[in-house]
């Protein structure tokens, strides 16, 4: 019984000491981040839209998340770096035609994480065709 108490005490002390050292080392390291959320409603739109994301030279990582829910029509989403290189895309399309007595929701999502991103203006390009629905764009920069 005494050995069990000594073992539990020793392990508890070691665990608390380790957590204290870890917490202290984490508090001396700074981490700056920014996030933004944008929600867009499409009401039968066919107009291409470019959503700009400004990335400074001191940004180490960006995360771009796009999700969409389309009731009708078609939507393509593309992500471009400042040099114009496509870094990702997805498309969603409703198969229900306007005037049908059925309803449909088509969801699409893309998550993109870029380490050491190029400084400049990144673009999330929305290309709808008679699209009705919503798009959410979430960005984080660290």
Q: Same domain for 11 and 41?
A: no
Q: What is the pLDDT of residues 27-74, one digit of tens each?
A: 445 668 889 999 999 999 899 999 999 999 999 999 999 999 999 999
pLDDT at 30: 62
> Could you tell me the residue range of the domain that residue 14 belongs to?
1-30
**Across 55-69, 77-91, 93-107, least confident range:** 93-107
Q: Same domain for 65 and 122?
A: yes
Give the chain as a DSSP string. -HHHHHHHHHHHHHHHHHHHHHHHHHHTS----EEEEEEEEEEEE---EEEEEEE-TT--EEEEEEEEEEEEEEEEEEEE-TTS-EEEEEEEE--SPTT-S----EEEEEEEEEESPPSEEEEEEEEEEEEEEEEEEEEEE-
Tokens found for residue 18: 């380790």
Q: Same domain for 40 and 25?
A: no
Q: Same domain for 68 and 133?
A: yes
* pLDDT value at 21 more than 80: no
pLDDT at 17: 47
Q: Same domain for 19 and 5?
A: yes
Residue that wins the pLDDT comparison between 10 and 130? 130
> What is the CATH number for 132?
2.60.120.760
pLDDT at 97: 75
Spatial contact of 40 and 134, defined as CB atoms under 8 Å apart: yes
* pLDDT value at 9 more than 50: no
Mean pLDDT of the chain: 84
Tokens found for residue 14: 């070691």
């Amino acid at each position: 019984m005494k050995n069990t108490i000594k073992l539990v005490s020793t392990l508890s002390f070691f665990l608390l000491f380790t957590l204290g050292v870890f917490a202290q080392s984490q508090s001396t390291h700074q981490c700056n981040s920014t996030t933004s959320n944008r929600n867009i409603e499409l009401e039968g739109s066919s107009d291409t839209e470019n959503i700009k994301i400004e990335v400074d030279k001191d940004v180490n990582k960006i995360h771009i998340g796009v999700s969409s829910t389309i009731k009708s029509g078609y939507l393509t989403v593309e992500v471009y770096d400042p040099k114009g290189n496509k870094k990702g895309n997805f498309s969603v399309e409703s198969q229900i035609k306007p005037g049908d007595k059925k309803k449909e929701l088509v969801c699409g999502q893309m998550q993109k994480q870029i380490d050491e991103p190029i400084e400049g203006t990144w673009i999330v390009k929305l290309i709808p065709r008679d699209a009705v629905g919503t798009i959410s764009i979430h960005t984080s920069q660290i």
